[in-house]
Amino acid sequence: GRAFNEMAAGSRWLTKNNKKFCSVRTRIDHDAPIHSTNLPQPQLPIFRFLPKTTTTMTMIMMHARGGRLAKLNASISNNLNPTRWQIHRDKNVAGGIVNDISALRFSTSPDYLNYETWHRSNYEDAVRPSSKHPSDHAVVNGSRNDSNVIPWRSSATANSHYDGRALLELPRTSVLMELSDRVGALHDVLKYYWKYDVNITRIESRPVQNNSTKFDFFVDFHGKVGDPNVNALLNTLKGMTDKLLVLDEKEVHWFPRHISELDLIANRTLDAGTDLQADHPGFKDAEYRKRRAHLAQVALQYRIGQDIPLTEYSAAEVETWGVVWDKMEYLLEKYACKEYKKSMNLMKKHCDYNRNEIPQLSSISSFLQLQTNFRLRPVAGLISSRDFLNGLAFRTFFCTQYIRHPSMPLYTPEPDICHELLGHVPMFADRDFCDFSQEIGLASLGASEEDVLKLARCYWHSVEFGLCREDGKNKAYGAGLLSSFGELEYACKERGPDEVPSIGEDGTPTCPEIKPWDPAVAAAQDFPITTYQPVYFLAESLQDAKVKMRKYCEDLPRPFFALYNAQTESVHIDRPVRRCVGVPESS
């Protein structure tokens, strides 16, 4: 939140050099690693400046007089503990000098910095690390140090470790400020947020309609009307703005804020885990239904934080598992992506993956938490797309424990433990895949029904049935393919130039269409659930799939931006909302 105190430092330079903003927008950024248990966790919003010529709407843009352009990136990571800016030499943009600035945390701010003429030698002595700031001896950015960096101290105060759990339910206020378009206008109001110790979480600007001389600024901050510091701030701003309005909270679909709240949605199953359809192979098997009921009850009683109970599988269940294992082993070696095969070797080594016993969710979940900070959470049956995707936001995979009926070991009308453990779980040992899955989950929090449907389609065409290119061949990373011997070969086998996408007389696809991975296209692509897929989406790599999915999620008209804090297992959102639609009964 205190990242916005740095805007005072940045805007001082703009004011001094007679420059002004043309647009402002902030968002929570996911550029740094957010998933590892042994890496620093970015926990505060990021704001950016970009040239006026940019079309990116999720960043702050500034325009300088005389045609000069400057690009400034500012980021905050409260628990990294550095206390300076980083200035990077960059390339020219549209003929103007461009400098990148990454803001971390600061102590004092010099006014002499000139971005158009700076040279490294001019400032090394001025900003050399002192004993007062021992953390200035290194600049940490993910996993590497940047040697071409000039530190610049700024005015933010050092804060204690950010506790996402403690701030979950802090009251927030949204205001609309109308300001005249003049040099220093933003600086004049931002300094009062700092003065009254008001913590900004989001700021966004847009021109006033039909008035090119004014801008509206939407600002969210911690606190509520009635708090002494908030009242003092609002009273001050009334005399400095052309218009000041306190806005109502935005109403959104209920979503979990802490991982413990997943317990409120995990049991909202679309079936009870035992309500089998008449065409289910186990519909008339009383013993099978009894077994399903028992496993469903175990899942219904489970709570986040508990050890997942061990399951004693019968000889018939283990035999069914073995049949599926034997059928898939050769095909997985031939058609699975390299990330899957690498992870499967780890599962065999650390989680007792083999044909003669069904692995336990407890040992798998413990291993995944150490590997990628993902975990498994048992559920009784199918849950809604919204609830399922919400779980992914917390790096949690809702997992069934029942197995398909032994009379048809190579067929299941629903996800079962063979699908979960052979299809999904190995991929959750891969960091890029976990990040990709979490991107979809974070975008689903508080999303509209329309956007949840789009995200569910993206999930289906990637996490369930996604392909990636590897050594000139199509390989599978989607769980629906990795657990289906027939469709895996159907989707991945090489075809001649004469084979074109086609549908048989019975409506079953005989040759699929392969499209390049584009989340916007996938979000509009319907899919069947009882036949092979007529369309598959092919990514260049898992990294490519993740980057494109992240961009798509950022462009969705989301009610807020969310950032997962792995240390507190909670999500930080950048604006006040009221979770009032679809509230779980037990909440």
Where in the sequence numbering do the catalytic residues fall?
Answer: 419, 424, 464, 483
Q: Is 540 assigned a ligand-binding role in the annotation?
A: no
CB 358, CB 425: distance < 8 Å: no
- State the Cα–Cα distance between residues 569 and 573, nearest whole angstrom: 13
The DSSP annotation for 464-528 comes to IT-EEEETTEEEE--HHHHT-HHHHHHHHS---TT---EE-TTS-EEE-EEEE--HHHHTT----
SS (H, E, C) 137-200: HCCEECCEECCCCEEECCCCCCCCCCCCCCCCCCCEEEEEEEEECCCCHHHHHHHHHHHCCCCE
CA distances from 562 to 103, 351, 418 (A): 20, 33, 33
Backbone φ, ψ for residue 302 (5° rounding): -75, 145
Tokens of 561: 């931006």
- State the Cα–Cα distance between residues 575 and 249, nearest whole angstrom: 9
- State the Cα–Cα distance between residues 194 and 200, nearest whole angstrom: 9
Q: Is 249 assigned a ligand-binding role in the annotation?
A: no
Buried b (16+ CB within 10 A) or exposed e, 19-52: bbbebbbbbbbbebbbbeeeebbbbbbbbbbbbe
Alpha helix (H) residue ranges in 423-476:
431-444, 449-459
Residue 21, H or E segment: strand 20-23
- State the Cα–Cα distance between residues 482 and 336, nearest whole angstrom: 7
Question: Sign of dihedral through CA atoms 555, 557, 558, 559?
Answer: positive
CB 482, CB 324: distance < 8 Å: no
C-alpha closest to that of 523 among 543, 548, 540: 548
Q: Is 464 assigned a ligand-binding role in the annotation?
A: yes
- State the Cα–Cα distance between residues 414 and 269, nearest whole angstrom: 13
Tokens of 570: 């909670």
Angle, helices 338-350 vs 361-372, to 10°: value is 120
Long-range contacts of residues 273-277, Cβ cutoff 8 Å, at least 24 apart:
273/299, 273/380, 273/381, 273/400, 273/402, 275/381, 277/413
Annotated binding site: 419, 424, 464
Annotated binding site for Fe cation: 419, 424, 464
